[in-house]
Amino acid sequence: MYKVHWALALLISLVAACGAPGTAIAPSRTPVAVTAGLTLRPIANIAALLLEPLELRGLVDQPVDVVRSESGEQRARQVLIGVGGVEVLRVESALDGSLRLIAKSGVALDGGALSESAAIARALRHLVRLGLEMPGGGPAVQSAAGRTLVIWTRQVRGVPVLGDGTRVVLNGSGALVGLAIDESPLAAPPARIARGDAALRAAAALLPIGAFVGGSPELAWVLPTDGASEGSGQRTPRRLAWCVGGALRDGAAFELQLDAGSLVLLGWDGAP
C-alpha cells in the first residue's frame, strides 16, 4: 500500500513541478482541485477564508510536493509565498485529501489574553469556517509564548492516544495561527490487559537505586521505543501501554511506558 502511495506521490510531484504556471490566487469556484489524481482543497480557497483581501495580493504558490510529517505520514504540501520570498501560508493534506495542517506565518503578536471559554469558542469557529470535523470531548487549553493552544486529544474507548487529535493555535485576539489534525495507526490491543499494580511492580524493578515510582499508572496509546531508538519518525502504530511516573534520586521526573499486556518496556521519558 505504501508503495502505491509513494508512486502516486512521485507522480504528483513530477506533474506539479513540470506543470503550467500557477493559477491566480483568486479562490477557485470548486471546493476541491484534482492534481494528478489527488483530490486537494486548493490553498487559494483556504487563503481566502483566512487572509484579508489585501493580504492576498502578490502571493505566489509553489508546486505541490509530497513530504513526510513529523509523525511519519506522507502528505501533499501546498505553500503560498509572499513578498521577499517569505512563506505566508502552508497547507498539508493526507494523500486521501483530508486536511492535516494549516500554518500561517507572521500572525500578529497581539497582547490580549483569551479566556479559556473564549479560546475554545474561537477554535471551534475556525474549524467550522474551514468545514472541518468537530472534535469530540472537552479540549485542554494552554498558553505558550503569547499563543493559546486548544487541544482535543483523540480517545479510543476512553483511552487517550498521545499526540493524536486536533490542535488549534490562536493569537491573543483569537486569530488563527494554525491547526493540526493527527491520527496515527493503532496496534491491536493485547488480549488481556495487566493490572495497574502489576505495572507499578514491573516499573519499580527497572529502576536504579534511589529512584521510586509514584502515583497511579495510567493507560494510554503511545509511540513505542520513543526514548531508546529512532522509531518516533516512522509511521509506527501506537501501542496500548501503562504509563508509570516517578522520580530519580536527584528528584528529576521520569515516565516509563510498559506494554499493557506483557509489561515489557516500550519507552521512557524524562524531564531535565
Partner 1 sequence: MVGAVLLAAAITLAPPSNDAVVFANRTAFAEECTGTVNTQPDRLARQARTALAALGWEVGGAVGPAFTRRSMLASAVASALYVHSHGDLYWDSKSDSRVGGFRADSGLCLGAPIILPSEIAAMRRGASAASLVYISSCHNGERASRLPAAFGIAQRKVQGSGEPDSFYVGYIGTAWQGAALRFEQAFWRGLLDGATAGAAFDRALLVAYDPEHLTPEWWGGYGHRPHAPAAGLPDLGGQRHV
Residues 35-94 that bind partner 1 (CB under 8 A): 59-63, 70-71, 81, 85-87, 90
**Residue among 191 and 201 whose Cβ is closer to partner 1:** 201
User: Residue 202 in 3-state DSSP?
Assistant: helix
Q: Is-contact 148 142, C-beta < 8 A? A: yes
The residue (of 5 and 90) whose beta carbon lies closer to partner 1 is: 90
DSSP SS3 for 45: helix
Neighbour-count burial for 58-93, b at 16+ CB within 10 Å, e otherwise: ebebbbbebeebebebbbbbbbbbbeeeeebbbbbb
Q: How far is it, in rounded angstroms, from Cα 242 to Cα 263?
A: 8
Candidates 104-112, 116-124, 126-134, 234-242; binding stretch for partner 1 (CB under 8 A): 104-112
Does residue 249 touch partner 1 according to CB under 8 A? yes
| Residue 56 per-residue DSSP state | H
DSSP three-state, residue 98: coil
Q: What is the residue-wise DSSP string for 126-172?
A: HHHHTTPPPPPSPPEEEEETTEEEEEEEEEETTEEEEEEEEEEEE-T
Does 99 bind partner 1 (CB under 8 A)? Our answer is: no
Q: Which DSSP state fits 250?
A: T
Nearer to partner 1, 41 or 104 (CB): 104
DSSP state of 14: H
Is 218 near partner 1 (CB under 8 A)? no
In the complex, the smallest distance separating the C-beta of residue 199 from partner 1, rounded to whole angstroms, is 15
**Binding window for partner 1 (CB under 8 A); candidates: 2-10, 112-120, 142-150, 191-199:** 142-150
**Could you tell me which residues are beta bridge partners of residue 143?**
148
Contact with partner 1 (CB under 8 A) among 22, 27, 172, 189: 22
Cβ closer to partner 1: 18 or 191? 18
CB closer to partner 1 out of 114 and 162: 162
- Residue from 14, 83, 252, 264 in contact with partner 1 (CB under 8 A): 252
With cell 481566502, the residue in question is 48
Q: Does 207 bind partner 1 (CB under 8 A)?
A: yes
Q: Which of 107, 240, 258, 263 binds partner 1 (CB under 8 A)?
A: 107
Is residue 242 within 8 A of residue 194, CB to CB? The reply is yes
Among 156, 187, 228, 264, binds partner 1 (CB under 8 A): 228
**Which triple of cell numbers denotes residue 137?**
470531548
Say how many residues make up the chain: 272
In angstroms, give the least distance from the CB of 248 to partner 1.
6
Instruction: Give how many residues touch partner 1 by CB under 8 A.
Output: 71
Which residue among 12, 177, 219, 258 contacts partner 1 (CB under 8 A)? 177
